């Protein structure tokens, strides 16, 4: 069975270690990057089955990153991860073709 590959984009990568370990123990390959520009670059050059994308990052935010990734890879499922409860944010993300949000 082929391992599913996840790209996790979050500016607080150090906080992801327990989650990455959890997913790795269950057979997933998880690659982390800390900003939108790196996410766009790596998504262009490597194949992933899922992208977990933080909405609030310095520099390029999650929505901008989402639009760029979807422009070059429209079929990749993206789950937006956010602490924000702003209703308009999720409407914008859904319009940007996220698969779901946490």
Q: What is the pLDDT of residues 32-84, one digit of tens each?
A: 999 999 999 999 999 999 999 998 889 999 889 999 999 999 999 999 887 65
The phi-psi region of residue 97 (left if phi > 0; otherwise alpha if psi is between -120 and 50; otherwise beta) is left
Look at residue 91 and tell me whether its pLDDT is greater than 70.
no
The predicted structure's pLDDT at residue 1: 55
Look at residue 86 and tell me whether its pLDDT is greater than 80.
no
End-to-end CA separation in angstroms for the chain: 28
Structural domains of the chain, ranges and CATH numbers in brackets: 5-101 (3.40.50.2300)
The predicted structure's pLDDT at residue 71: 94
């Amino acid at each position: 069975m082929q391992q599913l590959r996840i790209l996790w984009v979050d500016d607080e990568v150090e906080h992801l270690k327990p989650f990455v370990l959890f997913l790795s123990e269950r057979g997933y390959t998880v690659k982390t990057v800390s900003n939108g520009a790196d996410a766009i670059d790596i998504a262009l050059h490597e194949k992933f089955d899922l992208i977990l994308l933080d909405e609030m990052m310095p520099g390029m935010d999650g929505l901008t990153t989402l639009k760029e990734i979807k422009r070059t890879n429209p079929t990749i499922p993206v789950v937006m991860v956010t602490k924000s409860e702003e209703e308009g944010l999720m409407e914008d993300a859904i319009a940007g073709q996220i698969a779901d949000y946490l």
